[in-house]
Amino acid sequence: MSTRNSPRILLHEVGPRDGLQVEKAVVPIEKKEAWLRDLMASGLDIIQVGSFVHPEKVPQMADTDELFRRLTAGKVSSAILSGLALNEKGLERGLACGVEMFCMGASASETHSRKNTGMGTEESTKRIISAAKTAAAAGKKVQVSVQSAFGCGFEGPISEERVLNMVRAYLEAGLRNISLADTAGHANPAQVERLFGAVLKMDKDIECACHFHNTYGLGMANMFAAMRAGVVSFETSFAGLGGCPFTKVAAGNVATEDFAHALQRERLRVDVNLDRLIAVARDAAAHFGRDLQGFVYKTGAIGKVASG
């Protein structure tokens, strides 16, 4: 496995949003802020602070606006602070509280789309494109995604042509930072290389991101398959927390500290402070009072003695 020809590797931490959204007990804002500040100081490139959803649907995200206001006030970290917005109202809230990068997406699964947004895929895609163009016009970084791109817990296999048609619609709208998300965790490495390979052939200026859930234990393998295909941005969650509350089987993400550790074993992204990432993961496990899905936070990095 060779990754040395990758032009760059961007690390996008989504734990504060995707990691926490399925947790039933709301994490106090002071604890979230402490985790976020440690993540910002670790050398990660992008950190997803939260999502702009109705607080009754996802109570864990009710403090997203306030977190952005706290973290952007006097900000010195180079980490880009991202937020998930699934509609115009979410975009409006994000613009008001200082979001630096908007992540917006529509699902290739009709069933998942309706459960997640109350809209079908076609309507959702059109609205996301409109909102993304508004965000870009406001000078914000924008990433658009195809959710359930590799399969759906409700519908099973998803047509690759359906995914490519959604990517095509994004490209036609001038949106070239595009993520494929494995919301249900159904992806396999061969499928990942094939689908991202097809996407990357569509436009020479496209910048691809990936988001894999570890539902069936293939998350890390899929990350490296995406890297081989030419993906540059990788979304992970501290301690492996996470899962979409609107999919059939919710499961965690690849753990940020596990992926960073794997990269550093190949002398990649050695600028990232792995000890800080491990500390955040350990604190999360202590807070929730249970073992979480990550590995390295339990064992410590190779060459270092684990503590705690």
What pLDDT score does 119 carry?
A: 81
pLDDT band at 143; cut points 50, 70, 90: very high
The pLDDT confidence band at residue 244, using thresholds 50, 70 and 90, is low
pLDDT category, 243, cuts 50, 70, 90?
low
Q: What is the dihedral of CA 18, 217, 144, 259, to 10 degrees?
A: 80
Q: Report yes or no on 307 lying in a domain.
A: no
How many other CB atoms are there within 10 angstroms of residue 141's CB atom? 15
Q: Domain of 116: which CATH number?
A: 3.20.20.70
Q: pLDDT at position 146, please?
A: 96
Contact status, residue 262 vs residue 222, Cβ threshold 8 Å: no
Question: Residues 259, 12: contact at Cβ < 8 Å?
Answer: no
pLDDT tens digits, 27-67:
999 999 999 999 999 999 999 999 999 898 899 999 999 99
* Eight-class DSSP state of 237: B
Flag whether 170 is in a domain: yes
Q: Looking at the predicted structure, is the pLDDT value of residue 95 above 90? A: yes
Q: Is residue 149 part of a domain?
A: yes
Question: Mean of the per-residue pLDDT values for the chain?
Answer: 91
Q: How many domains are contained in the chain?
A: 1
The answer to whether residues 103 and 85 touch, using CB atoms and an 8 Å cutoff, is: yes
Domain assignment of residue 157, yes or no? yes
User: Is 50 exceeded by the pLDDT of residue 3?
Assistant: no
Q: What is the pLDDT of residue 179?
A: 98
Question: How buried is 154 (Cβ within 10 angstroms: 0-12 exposed, 13-18 middle, 19+ buried)?
Answer: middle
How far does CA 83 lie from the centroid of its chain? 10
Residue reference for tokens 């409109």: 130
The catalytic residue among 103, 208, 210, 244 is 244
Q: Tokens 């699934």 sit at which residue?
A: 86
Residue for token pair 């969650």: 237
Are the C-beta atoms of residues 282 and 265 closer than 8 Å to each other? Answer: no
Please report the pLDDT score of residue 12 as a whole number: 98
Cα distances from 119 to residues 94, 106, 107, in angstroms, run: 21, 9, 10
pLDDT the model gives residue 307: 41
CA distance 226 to 178: 13
Q: Which two tokens stand for residue 91?
A: 């975009």
Residue 5 has pLDDT above 50, yes or no: no
Assigned domain for 304 exists: no
The pLDDT score that the predictor gives to residue 112 is: 78
**Residue 176 belongs to a domain:** yes
Each residue's pLDDT tens digit, 254-302: 999 999 999 999 999 999 999 999 999 999 999 999 999 999 999 999 9
How large is the average pLDDT for residues 225-234? 97
Is-catalytic flag, 244?
yes
Task: Grade residue 251 by pLDDT with cuts at 50, 70 and 90.
Answer: low
The answer on pLDDT for 239 being more than 50 is yes
Question: What b/e sequence results for 8-20 when a residue is b if at least 16 CB atoms lie within 10 Å of its CB, and e otherwise?
Answer: ebbbbbbbbbbbb
Return the percent helix, strand and coil in the chain, to nearest 5.
45, 15, 40
pLDDT at 305 over 50: no
DSSP character string of 9-73: -EEEE-IIIIITTT-SSPPPHHHHHHHHHHHHTTT-SEEEEEE---TTT-GGGTTHHHHHHHHHT
Distance of CA 147 to the CA centre of its chain: 11
Name the token pair of 206.
């496209």
- What's the pLDDT at 121? 80
Residue 5 belongs to some domain of the structure: no
Per the structure, the complete domain to which residue 158 belongs is given by 10-299
pLDDT-based confidence at residue 1 (cuts at 50, 70, 90): very low
CA atoms within 13 A on the CB side of 186: 19
Cα distance between residue 5 and residue 126, in whole Å: 36
Q: What percent of the chain has pLDDT over 70?
A: 93
User: Residue range 74-101: average pLDDT?
Assistant: 96
Whether residue 79 is contained in a domain is answered as yes
CB 220 within 8 A of CB 254: yes
